[in-house]
A and B are shown apart, each in its own frame.
Chain A
Amino acid sequence: MATAGVAALAVLVAGGTLAGDLALGLSEAAWRAELRVVARLRDAGPRPEDPDGIVARARALPGVAEVRYVGPALALAELQRLLGARAAGLDRLPSNPLPPRIEVTPAATMGAADLEALVAALDRLPGVIDVQAAHGWVEPLERLRRGLRLGGLTLAAALGLVALAAAAGATAAARRAGRDEASILRLAGVSELRLTAPLVLPSLGLAMLGSLLGLALLLLASEPGAPWAGSWLRAVLGLDPLPLLPSSWLAGLAGAGAALGLVGALAAGRS
């Protein structure tokens, strides 16, 4: 039963790590969709969107997905819309104080270092007063995801090795117990497959059972299990239910768990 228990834990930890990483990835994608690098301009020139204008030069920088030019009049209109009723005083200003700007949407795959490089490159463009970007969260989030993947998958791999060793141990014990029987049958012409199968199948079955148990626990901690375990997860672990992993990943986890039992049992059963 140790094989089943440890295989369940290995599958749960691996699945939990992948689901946690998926959840962070989804949040990151949503945050990144909102991420803009804003460069305030001293003077954009008469035609900023011409091929040799500031917009084209910004668009040519590496990692830039989209560039939007916002002239002073549009900037003031957007500010008024944003402020609503509180924007009444803006009409009384003698002149428009807002400078033109470009809003740069970085490519979704850009890491923190590349974002830093993009901000610096934008800052170096002629006519740019300053560059503002709320990208301070990208680097800590990258570190968190890296740490989660490394820690979780390392723990899952370690548990997998323990499950493999448990399967090998159980099979070796069964092989020792059935040594006389096997030697009699081998000499009588019973095939190695027939001799090995009764040793390997129990460990394979236990590892499969453990994998399914691990998957069931993972599903309980995921969105489909929220009606049953969601409140408990929030109360005890302070976590929201994890996103549901794609079915191919779940099948892969179940297969990997079963493979632990098979490999361990084969290693001990045929040696």
Chain B
Amino acid sequence: MLELRGVSKVYRRAAGGRVEALADLSFEVKPTELAVLVGPGGAGKSTLLRLITGEERPTRGVVLVAGTDVGALGARGLARLRRSLGVVSPGGRLLADRTALGNLTFVLRALGTGSSEARERALAALTEVGLGAARSALPHELAAGECHRVMLARALATRPRLLLADEPTAILDAAAAAMVVTVLRGLSLRGTTCLVATRAVEVARALEGRTLELTAGRLRPEGGPV
């Protein structure tokens, strides 16, 4: 489902010089697999996810999603690819003037889902993350952790083939984090491929997926202790 071959990402500093955010990464995530990318802040986890979504292009190497080279896609191909992805990231946003439910349905409607089906899917996704009762709440009426779960629900509602979750539990309390972990595991069991990036080792363990350890842009050989 997802394969990286010799992927590197180098940024040029405005003041001169280069920063190698990712160095020669190669790994594969098989369909329905749950993979967890563990590493400290600045390890390159978010950069890696942005390469997969096509928001950035690798300096070297190839990112393949379902056999498609993401870096070679044009705008139209990228849009088509992203319809098969679900993305949750700390930088994600909710629209302030729409309810929790509205934040989900407007995406589904823009993707061409009929209004009643969009509402049904949005409600189901909100219920799955434990926010069914908060469907009419506006973002400012929700806690930060709840907003984060609405964003997870928004990603789930599009029924992605590959879910990319960047720090999905970072700002959640223990109970909410446990619920998110359960949701992600359930998603994987139902056939969705998941790649979760987290700095929390305990979350990685709780997810019970294959662990990929990323430090300073390099992958540690698999099989070692986390």
Interface, chain A (partner B; CB < 8 A):
180-181, 183-192, 194
Contacts of A184 in B (CB 8 A): 92-93, 95, 107, 154
Contact B95 A189 (CB under 8 A): no
Interface, chain B (partner A; CB < 8 A):
53, 55, 75-76, 79-85, 87, 92-93, 95, 106-107, 110-111, 154, 158
Contact A180 B82 (CB under 8 A): no
- Can you list 7 residue pairs at the A/B interface with Cβ under 8 Å? A181-B95, A183-B93, A184-B107, A189-B79, A189-B158, A190-B79, A191-B76
Name the residue of chain A whose CB is nearest to the CB of B93. A180
Contacts of B154 in A (CB 8 A): 184
> Could you say which of A180, A188, A192 contacts B110, with CB atoms under 8 Å apart?
A188
Name the residue of chain B whose CB is nearest to the CB of A192. B75
Contact A187 B95 (CB under 8 A): no
Instruction: Please report the C-alpha to C-alpha distance between residue A191 and residue B74 in the assembled complex, in whole angstroms.
Output: 11
Of all A-B residue pairs in the complex, the 3 with the closest CB atoms, nearest first, are: A189-B83, A189-B82, A191-B79
- Assess A187 versus B110: contact at CB under 8 Å? Given A180-B93, A192-B75: no
Contact A188 B93 (CB under 8 A): no
B63 to chain A minimum Cβ distance, whole angstroms, is: 16
Instruction: Please report the C-alpha to C-alpha distance between residue A75 and residue B55 in the assembled complex, in whole angstroms.
Output: 91
B130 to chain A minimum Cβ distance, whole angstroms, is: 22
Instruction: Please report the C-alpha to C-alpha distance between residue A181 and residue B107 in the assembled complex, in whole angstroms.
Output: 9
Contacts of A191 in B (CB 8 A): 75-76, 79
Instruction: Please report the C-alpha to C-alpha distance between residue A149 and residue B80 in the assembled complex, in whole angstroms.
Output: 51
Contacts of A180 in B (CB 8 A): 93, 95
> Could you say which of B81, B92, B106 contacts A189, with CB atoms under 8 Å apart?
B81
B89 to chain A minimum Cβ distance, whole angstroms, is: 9
Instruction: Please report the C-alpha to C-alpha distance between residue A189 and residue B158 in the assembled complex, in whole angstroms.
Output: 10
Instruction: Please report the C-alpha to C-alpha distance between residue A187 and residue B87 in the assembled complex, in whole angstroms.
Output: 8
Which secondary structure characterizes the binding site on chain A?
helix
Name the residue of chain A whose CB is nearest to the CB of B83. A189
Contact A188 B75 (CB under 8 A): no
Contacts of B92 in A (CB 8 A): 184
Contact A192 B107 (CB under 8 A): no
Instruction: Please report the C-alpha to C-alpha distance between residue A59 and residue B30 in the assembled complex, in whole angstroms.
Output: 93
Name the residue of chain A whose CB is nearest to the CB of B55. A187
Contact A187 B75 (CB under 8 A): no
Instruction: Please report the C-alpha to C-alpha distance between residue A188 and residue B88 in the assembled complex, in whole angstroms.
Output: 11
A259 to chain B minimum Cβ distance, whole angstroms, is: 24
Instruction: Please report the C-alpha to C-alpha distance between residue A191 and residue B55 in the assembled complex, in whole angstroms.
Output: 14
Contacts of B75 in A (CB 8 A): 191-192
Q: Known contacts A184-B95, A186-B82, A192-B79; can you find 6 more A-B pairs with CB under 8 A?
A: A185-B107, A185-B110, A188-B110, A189-B82, A189-B85, A190-B110
Contacts of B107 in A (CB 8 A): 184-185, 188, 190
Contacts of A186 in B (CB 8 A): 79, 82
Contacts of B83 in A (CB 8 A): 188-189
Contact A189 B93 (CB under 8 A): no
Contacts of B82 in A (CB 8 A): 186-189
B106 to chain A minimum Cβ distance, whole angstroms, is: 8
Contact B158 A188 (CB under 8 A): yes
Instruction: Please report the C-alpha to C-alpha distance between residue A183 and residue B53 in the assembled complex, in whole angstroms.
Output: 13
- Assess A194 versus B110: contact at CB under 8 Å? Given A189-B79, A189-B81, A189-B82: yes
Contacts of B110 in A (CB 8 A): 185, 188, 190, 194
Name the residue of chain B whose CB is nearest to the CB of A183. B93
Instruction: Please report the C-alpha to C-alpha distance between residue A47 and residue B158 in the assembled complex, in whole angstroms.
Output: 99
Contacts of A185 in B (CB 8 A): 107, 110
Contacts of A187 in B (CB 8 A): 53, 55, 82, 87
